[in-house]
Amino acid sequence: MVYAGAMRDLLARITIRPDQCHGWPCIRGMRIRVADILEMLANGIAADEILRDFPDLEADDIRASLAYAASLAGHPVVVAAE
């Protein structure tokens, strides 16, 4: 389990700016979207390969993307009654 301080440090790497990538969450102000990193991981691309293909990324950026997804997945979803 990730400790609160470590999670906070990872999430600080995620930036959301309306004027960049249409407001999608990105890594450290770069135009590398969190969604793109998550999609690559979901498609079986290894973290070390992602880091080779994107030399400006750091291993903690990939962990930050996963932490961001985990933080969203942990929120309850309210479904309206039919």
**pLDDT, position 13:** 96
Provide the domain count of the chain: 1
63-73 confidence digits (pLDDT tens): 999 999 998 88
Residue 61 within a domain = yes
Residue 42 within a domain = yes
Q: Domain residues for 44?
A: 7-73
**DSSP string covering 9-76, please?**
HHHTTEE--TTSGGG--EETTSS-BHHHHHHHHHTT--HHHHHHH-TT--HHHHHHHHHHHHHHHTS-
Beta-carbon contacts of residue 59 (< 8 Å; ≥ 6 apart): 47, 51
CATH number of the structural domain spanning residue 31: 1.10.10.10
**pLDDT, position 2:** 53
Residue 81 within a domain = no
3-52 confidence digits (pLDDT tens): 778 889 999 999 999 999 999 999 999 999 999 999 999 999 999 999 99
Q: Tell me the whole-structure pTM to 2 decimals.
A: 0.84
